[in-house]
Amino acid sequence: MKKKRTPLKIATSVKDKALVQMRRHQIYRAALQAFTQNGFHKTNLRQVTKLAGLAYGSIYDYVKTKNDILFLIYDSVLDELHSCLEEAARSSEDPLEQLQALIRAAMEHTDKYQDAIILLYQESRVMKSSGHLTEVFEKERGYIRIFTEVLEQGAKSGIFKVPNVKVLENLLPIMCSTWALKRWNLKGVSKAEYVEALTQFILQGVGATLPKPLDSKRSITRRESKGARPRPRGA
């Protein structure tokens, strides 16, 4: 079921909803660049306004504080994660295939938003004092629920052996986020290698494994042993 987007609880004096959405997207992109380069606490609204291409003072028509802007980043990143996970879950009715699709989708999202994910983890405490913490938690529960449903369906059908879904549903997204959070320690590891290792680790953890590809030489040997003898050299 497609998630209905919840209106942001950020005050605005502008009545045109489409304009508000467009301007807030500009502010979000500019702020992410500024926060990544300078740090959240060292960046001021004047710098964000300039990067966003807005007249100074007009930014207050769309947000009131830097904390509001940080929540805009949370909102955009988490909403896109929710959307791509929903699409991945709809790609199959088989829980094993769904779980693999969720891992790939979460990893693609993590790779795309590495800077944003690092920023949000570093400044998550800001949300506690901003008044947006309840909204952030609700958004996180939304995408975690997608993992929950797949794990529960897999366990119900006997494909997965999951002793505690509540633990796993929280671990899986974090293991994908590690690609961004620990990238300083993952130099030399490609995204494809990380995805493969993570997928095998998770599937084995839930009692399911990917079928191993047959080695070509072994495959030929097996076919020969079952069928006609190989022709002798020179024949």
Q: Where are the domains of the chain?
A: 10-64, 67-205
Residue 216 has pLDDT above 90, yes or no: no
DSSP secondary structure, 7-46, as one string: PP----S---HHHHHHHHHHHHHHHHHHHHHH-TTT--HH
Q: Looking at residue 125, what DSSP letter applies?
A: T
Q: Whole-prediction pTM value?
A: 0.81
If you average pLDDT over residues 194-214, what whole number do you get? 83
Q: Which residue has the higher pLDDT, 7 or 93?
A: 93
Structure tokens at 217: 């030489």
What average pLDDT does the chain have?
A: 87
pLDDT of 214 above 70? no
Can you identify the CATH homologous superfamily of domain 10-64?
Homeodomain-like (1.10.10.60)
What is the per-residue pLDDT across 117-158, written as a single tens digit (0 to 9) for each? 999 998 988 887 777 888 889 999 999 999 999 999 999 999
Task: State how far the Cα of 66 lies from the Cα of 82, in Å rounded to an integer.
Answer: 24
pLDDT band at 217 (very low <50, low <70, confident <90, very high): very low
- Alpha-helical regions (H) of the chain: 17-38, 45-52, 66-90, 95-112, 114-122, 126-130, 133-156, 165-181, 191-205, 216-226
- Residues with Cβ < 8 Å from 34, sequence gap 6 or more? 43, 47, 48, 51
* Domain over 67-205 is classified CATH 1.10.357.10: yes
Q: Is the pLDDT of residue 230 over 80?
A: no
- Check the CA dihedral 123-125-130-135 and report its sign: positive
Q: Do the two domains 10-64 and 67-205 of this chain adopt the same fold? A: no
Q: Which of 32, 76, 24 is closest to 54 using CA atoms?
A: 24
> Percent of the chain, pLDDT > 90?
72
Q: Distance (Å, rounded) from C-alpha 70 to C-alpha 55?
A: 20
pLDDT digits (tens, 9 = 90+) for 39-88: 999 999 999 999 999 998 899 999 999 999 999 999 999 999 999 999 99
Q: Are 95 and 160 in contact (CB under 8 A)?
A: yes
How far is 99 from 88, CA to CA, in rounded Å? 9
